[in-house]
Structure 1
Amino acid sequence: MSLNLKFHIIAACLVAAFLTTNAQTHSSEIGLQSDNDSYLLQGSDRYYTDGIFLFYRHALKTSSNAALQNKVLGFELGQKIYNPQTGNIPSANTVDRPFAGYLYAGASLNLLYKNESNLKLGAQIGMIGPAAGGEGAQKFVHNTFGFYSLNGWMYQIKNAFQLNLSAEYNRLLARSDGFDVSASGYANLGTGFTGAGVGPLFRLGKLGQLFNSISTQSTAIAKENAPQTNNGEFFVHYKPQFNYVAYDATIEGGLFNKKETGSLEVTRVPVRAIFSNQVGVSFVSKRWVIDYTATFPTSVVKPQHYSQQWASITLLYRFN
């Protein structure tokens, strides 16, 4: 599928969504997210170059818990692909960010409170290395759509089993007509990813409350827990964030892996302090949830020869 065709499909989905009116209550949703640096139309193919994720979320009853407004159980499958400054490198010493794939399955429980705070707990199991299929997936795309030939995956991060835990917390700080700001933070702990991040989230437009919003992955909600007015969402958002990286297996290799004599694996040391900016637009209608977000982080390794950026496109379908 060409990039032009992808954008025409996305535009058609947006038009169809705008033709619907108010949002309705749905307890389940299914959909996908695609990450790619080409969505920024800059012609780059480097660093975090591609990601694909499938989601299923279902809202649970909150029973007699007076503080909880919503509770969402989620499942996901995902693959992330990383390469250096390009997917075609002449030698190992030109690898700035290592070649790596990450394939995983995950589950999460999102607890959303009436005071518009939430705590989302998650766990993932998976693999990095050749078993994650990054090389095969990238070669399939390049060969299918006539992109340039790849060279360098022989230097990729070696196989390592992954068990990663995560926690995310958000809380509303202030809201006026059509504008709000909330605090957001996360922490990761595992064999692949350990670190934390914090920053504010600014939203401007038609806003949903944070216990039933795309901003907190809670557009699924049980009918008895839904707010009295549920008119959908349409807003722009901006999120500056400070991130601390204690460990990243896609850069440093498996936590328990030892460097083997004669191995072609290339690893690097990550930058520990990373600042990122996210900007995008979100829309929620009767059945559809659509989001476009661009991410611009500072360097993740040293030396990193170019800047890194990508965009994420999310499309979810809501049902009972």
Structure 2
Amino acid sequence: MTKFLTALLLLLTSYTLTQAQTHSHEMGFQSDNDGYLAQGSDRYYTNGIFVNYRHALTVNAKSKLANKVLGLEIGQKMYNPQSGSVPSALYIDRPFAGYLYAGATLNFLYKNESNLKLGLQAGVIGPASYTKQIQEFIHRTFGFYPPTGWEYQIRNNAVVNLSAEYNKLLYRSGAFDVSLSAYGNAGTGFDGAGVGPMLRLGTFNKLFNSAATQSSSIKNGSAYASTAKHELFFYYKPQYNYVGYDATVQGNIFGNSDDTGNTPQITGALNHLMFSNQLGGDYTYDRLTIDFSVIFHTKDVKTMVDAHQWGSIALLYHFN
């Protein structure tokens, strides 16, 4: 009887792990905030909230693809100067701005552990993003100071943006690997590119089925399901960035106009070359992925009194 129960338990465990490796849907949210670093700061890129859904699509076993993932996302980003409450326009070292958007991505993940993710975003920067109201609601709810200065925010302008991201495995030895990571943006809101390495240390899957490439979802029955029963790894991504245009700093790419007839918007001058560091950790098991990272970013506006940094938390649920 004991042998029978042991065999049954092993069978059920094996079945559970197999199912965990082939969840084809993923849904979750991500929250960015400088407050997560417990430094008492409330400046620059100060808050972001994102809800996303991903679905692994069927791939031809004879193709070069190991996985293909469709992603959908809605999100809002919030920017303010060195504080969310400024006594006068003289203290606006980075413009007030909000960005509200919806987007879609298609992630092609190849058997050679490279991937190409293509994306499209459409949204609005300005009062129509309701970012001012969201910040006021957050501060009122948690008893923070009342925000002031949003009358100077970047005015309404529509955003249509294309993006591409490429990753490629360069080296792996045991519990450590290094990949090349690069991206490019082009459109009416954001133009630029960046490149740098991504280093992982720990227990991880290959890049076509890993949280590192947002591809934890994989189609049922795929021969390329997870090789690790779980992922638990730390990562480091230093990156050089060139920004050609940023509408949250410079306003409408087609020319700024004072369309409200009230207080004029205050724009800024970009630092086109920037450097960022991202350090984080990922844990994935069965139906759950948790990611936490901290991002340190050099000044993206020439008048900023300091560099900026924030924390990011993501929670994802996998299902069939």
User: TM-score normalized by structure 2?
Assistant: 0.91
> 1:247 and 1:141 mapped to 2: Cα distance?
29
User: 1:88–1:285: structure 2 CA closer, same or farther, 3 Å change rule?
Assistant: same
Mapping 1:33-112, distance limit 5 Å: 33-112=30-109
User: 1:43–1:109: structure 2 CA closer, same or farther, 3 Å change rule?
Assistant: same
Residue matched to 2:179: 182
Alignment: residue pair count: 301
Residue matched to 1:319: 319
Residue matched to 2:278: 278
The letter of the residue matching 2:81 is P
> 1:234 and 1:68 mapped to 2: Cα distance?
25
The letter of the residue matching 1:136 is Q
The question of 1:232 aligning with 2:230 is answered yes
Residue matched to 1:242: 240
Deviation at 1:256, TM superposition (A): 1.7
**1:31-77: CA deviation from partner (whole Å, max 9, x where unpaired):** 00000001111111000000000000000001255200000000000
Mapping 1:1-320, distance limit 5 Å: 23-225=20-222, 226-227=224-225, 229-260=227-258, 263-320=263-320
Deviation at 1:313, TM superposition (A): 0.2
Give structure 2 stretches of 5+ with no counterpart. Answer: 1-15
Residue matched to 1:11: none
The letter of the residue matching 1:48 is Y
Deviation at 1:259, TM superposition (A): 3.2
> 1:89 and 1:228 mapped to 2: Cα distance?
50
RMSD (Å) for aligned C-alpha atoms? 1.4
Specify the SS of the correspondent of 1:240: strand
Q: Which has the larger radius of gyration?
A: 2
User: 1:91–1:309: structure 2 CA closer, same or farther, 3 Å change rule?
Assistant: same
User: 1:21–1:293: structure 2 CA closer, same or farther, 3 Å change rule?
Assistant: farther
The letter of the residue matching 1:107 is A
User: 1:24–1:187: structure 2 CA closer, same or farther, 3 Å change rule?
Assistant: same
Tell me, yes or no, if the aligned pair for 2:115 and 2:166 is still in contact at 8 Å.
yes
Tell me, yes or no, if the aligned pair for 1:25 and 1:230 is still in contact at 8 Å.
no
Specify the SS of the correspondent of 1:223: coil
The letter of the residue matching 2:67 is N
Tell me, yes or no, if the aligned pair for 1:106 and 1:123 is still in contact at 8 Å.
yes
> 1:125 and 1:204 mapped to 2: Cα distance?
36
**1:222-279: CA deviation from partner (whole Å, max 9, x where unpaired):** 0222336341200010010000000000000011243337642000011100000000
Specify the SS of the correspondent of 1:98: coil
Specify the SS of the correspondent of 1:66: coil
Which 10-residue stretch deviates more, 306-315 or 196-205? 306-315
Residue matched to 1:10: none
User: 1:184–1:310: structure 2 CA closer, same or farther, 3 Å change rule?
Assistant: same
Specify the SS of the correspondent of 1:270: coil
> 1:191 and 1:163 mapped to 2: Cα distance?
6
> 1:229 and 1:92 mapped to 2: Cα distance?
55
Give structure 1 stretches of 5+ with no counterpart. Answer: 1-19
Residue matched to 1:15: none
Tell me, yes or no, if the aligned pair for 2:182 and 2:195 is still in contact at 8 Å.
yes
Specify the SS of the correspondent of 1:139: helix
Tell me, yes or no, if the aligned pair for 1:160 and 1:257 is still in contact at 8 Å.
no
Deviation at 1:149, TM superposition (A): 1.3
Specify the SS of the correspondent of 1:143: helix
> 2:309 and 2:56 mapped to 1: Cα distance?
33
Identity of aligned residues (%): 57
> 1:208 and 1:189 mapped to 2: Cα distance?
31
Tell me, yes or no, if the aligned pair for 2:109 and 2:208 is still in contact at 8 Å.
yes
Tell me, yes or no, if the aligned pair for 1:129 and 1:160 is still in contact at 8 Å.
yes
Deviation at 1:204, TM superposition (A): 0.2
Deviation at 1:119, TM superposition (A): 0.1
Please list every run of at least 4 consecutive aligned residues from structure 1 whose deviation after the TM superposition is greater than 6 angstroms.
Answer: none
> 1:188 and 1:147 mapped to 2: Cα distance?
35
Deviation at 1:202, TM superposition (A): 0.3
